[in-house]
């Protein structure tokens, strides 16, 4: 498609020379089963090209504090900053992130090396594994995300949301030991490591976090040979969609403490974007939908954000800034 701008690269022969000169690549990753799965995927993609690599595990701030709700921690990049620091300190050569955790502005000195083809972007409601009957009245749902909390309460205002922290495995164990009706998870996380329960309900009505389901590989800005090594598994369509979503997020000045959803999907020669912004209680929600030709979509995310702000979203943003 004409809208996808190919990366500038050297000739094939020169690229081959660059790749052969790469030493064993150190891939930085968090320690969770899901993070290791994602890092091993990148490792296998590099090995397919004859490039050897090894995993280096690093704890993130988000892994060390498992009690404070993410939206109450008040920082961006809580799951990515430690890996980025290791990259800048030359302790690793690549870092593998769940892209929804990555701030829209990458740290100075770090660049995108590849965005892998996206998996299921939606959220799932995972019911309690042993309780099939619940008393009538409000239910208790667990979620670590303010976005999920706000969208759920907008749809089910009498329910209660309990915060839940930890990796996927830890949260599933907490759910099993609880009195909750269920907990909300990213579908991609459960599906990648084979833990999606058969009775999980996909929440198609819930707009996911920008870039949810996508994996981002980053490297130091000067490491052109690393970028060249990752070029074969960079997925242009996914990259374009998540750029639109993250432009939408940036246009609303959003982060982990702001309930913002965005999902862009390409169909033929068009792209369809759904986005929303809610207050923390879920009472007020402003939504936007845009369908446009791919050739005209380079500024779609920002245009949709500005439209949403004009239609009442600016009031929610101002309330958040003065909270």
- CA 243, CA 69: separation in Å to the nearest integer? 27
- CA 164, CA 168: separation in Å to the nearest integer? 10
CB atoms within 10 A of CB 249: 25
Task: Sort residue 238 into left (φ over 0), alpha (ψ -120 to 50) or beta.
Answer: alpha
For the chain, how big is the Rg over CA atoms in Å?
A: 20
Catalytic residue among 84, 93, 101, 223: 101
Is 101 designated active site? yes
CB atoms within 10 A of CB 64: 9
Please give the angle made by the CA atoms of 224, 228 and 229, to the nearest 5 degrees.
Answer: 115
- CA 24, CA 22: separation in Å to the nearest integer? 7
Specify the pairing of strand 160-163 against strand 25-29.
unpaired
Distances (CA, A) of 158 to 126, 153, 201: 19, 7, 20
Q: Under 8 Å CB-to-CB from 5, ≥6 apart: which residues?
A: none
- CA 112, CA 217: separation in Å to the nearest integer? 6
Class of residue 236 by CB neighbours under 10 A (exposed 0-12, middle 13-18, buried 19+): middle
Q: Which are the catalytic amino acids?
A: 101
């Amino acid at each position: 498609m004409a809208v996808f701008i190919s990366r500038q690269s050297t000739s094939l022969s020169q690229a081959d020379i660059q790749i052969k000169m790469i030493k064993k690549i150190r891939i930085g990753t968090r320690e969770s089963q899901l993070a290791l799965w994602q890092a091993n995927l990148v490792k296998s993609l590099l090995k397919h090209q004859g490039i050897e690599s090894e995993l280096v595990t690093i704890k993130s701030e988000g892994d060390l504090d498992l009690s404070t709700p993410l939206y109450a921690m008040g920082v961006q990049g809580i799951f990515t900053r430690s890996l980025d620091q290791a990259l800048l300190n030359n302790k690793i050569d690549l870092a593998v992130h769940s892209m929804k955790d990555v701030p829209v502005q990458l740290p100075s000195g770090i660049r995108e090396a590849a965005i892998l083809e996206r998996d299921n972007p939606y959220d799932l409601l995972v019911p309690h594994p042993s309780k099939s009957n619940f008393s009538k009245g409000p239910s208790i749902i667990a979620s670590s995300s303010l976005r999920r909390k706000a969208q759920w309460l907008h749809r089910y205002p009498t329910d209660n949301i309990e915060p839940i922290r930890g990796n996927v495995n830890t949260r599933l164990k907490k759910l099993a030991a609880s009195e909750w009706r269920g907990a909300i998870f990213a579908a991609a996380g459960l599906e990648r490591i084979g833990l999606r329960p058969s009775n999980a309900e996909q929440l198609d009505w819930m707009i996911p976090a920008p870039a949810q389901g996508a994996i981002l590989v980053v490297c130091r800005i000067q490491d052109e040979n690393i970028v060249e090594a990752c070029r074969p598994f960079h997925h242009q369509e996914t990259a374009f969609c998540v750029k639109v979503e993250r432009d939408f997020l940036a246009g609303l000045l959003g982060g982990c403490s702001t309930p913002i959803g965005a999902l862009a999907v390409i169909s033929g020669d068009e792209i369809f974007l759904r986005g929303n912004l809610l207050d923390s209680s879920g009472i007020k929600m402003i939504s936007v939908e845009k369908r446009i030709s791919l050739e005209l979509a380079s500024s779609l995310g920002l245009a949709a954000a500005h439209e949403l702000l004009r239609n009442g979203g600016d009031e929610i943003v101002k309330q958040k800034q003065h909270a």
